[in-house]
Structure 1
Amino acid sequence: MDMESDAHTVRLRRLKFRAWHRGIREMDLIFGRFADARLAELDEADLAAFEVLLDEQDKDVFSWYCGEVPLPPEHDTPFFAKLRAFPVHQM
């Protein structure tokens, strides 16, 4: 492996860890299951959007995800559409 692929592997591992270690269990399941299934296939833009979303409060993300509160424009990304479309309940 070269240094670039090593850095990418470490980044993916960190994202997966952060996805599974949230504050509320619902977000662990949404983010964690998505990360387990799709993280390796995301492009740079999606990975960056995921990292930004992981910095948000769980209660806010959950409200956006469920459609209880309008999704802020800065998070209205192709990544969020992929996350919302992912069949978490079927895993």
Structure 2
Amino acid sequence: MSETRDTMIKRLRMRSMRRGIKEMDLILTAYADGHLDGFSDDALALYDQLLSENDHDLYGWIGGQFPVPMEYLDLVTDIAAGAQGVTKPA
């Protein structure tokens, strides 16, 4: 059975807010709430793939401590733009 778009968005929102570290909960919940509804199906699939990555890697990519894999560069750059003050003190 194939997942509907609405079901996928709900699942991705839940996965965004139930992470391993609180900072990622805050960053990804805010990002998901503001962006997922407008994503194309391909963008949703990429975000789903990103959520499978380790939280410490994600946090390092978003905070600029680690190089971002090319497949995620645009997405992580967009997420990081809204994460100021969470990844680095304002």
Which TM-score band applies after superposition, normalised by the shorter structure? 0.7 to 0.9
For 1:82, the aligned partner's letter is D
Is this contact kept in 2: 1:33–1:88, CA < 8 A? no
The count of corresponding residues between Structure 1 and Structure 2 is: 85
* TM-score normalised by the chain length of structure 2: 0.82
Q: Which residue of 2 aligns with 1:51?
A: 48
Is this contact kept in 2: 1:34–1:88, CA < 8 A? no
Deviation at 1:61, TM superposition (A): 0.4
Q: Which residue of 1 aligns with 2:61?
A: 64
Segments ≥4 residues shifted beyond 6 Å: none
Deviation at 1:12, TM superposition (A): 0.5
User: Which residue, out of 17, 20, 30, partners 1:20?
Assistant: 17
Is this contact kept in 1: 2:19–2:25, CA < 8 A? yes
Separation (CA, whole Å) in 1 of partners of 2:75 and 2:42: 8
* TM-score normalised by the chain length of structure 1: 0.81
Q: Judging changes above 3 Å, is the alpha-carbon distance between structure 1 residues 88 and 10 closer, same or farther for their aligned structure 2 residues?
A: farther
Q: Which residue of 1 aligns with 2:79?
A: 83
Deviation at 1:74, TM superposition (A): 2.7
Separation (CA, whole Å) in 2 of partners of 1:23 and 1:57: 9
Give me the identity figure in percent: 32
Is this contact kept in 1: 2:21–2:55, CA < 8 A? yes
Deviation at 1:39, TM superposition (A): 1.2
Deviation at 1:20, TM superposition (A): 0.2
What's the RMSD between the two structures over aligned residues? 2.2
Instruction: In structure 2, list runs of 5 or more residues that go unmatched.
Output: 86-90
Instruction: In structure 1, list runs of 5 or more residues that go unmatched.
Output: none
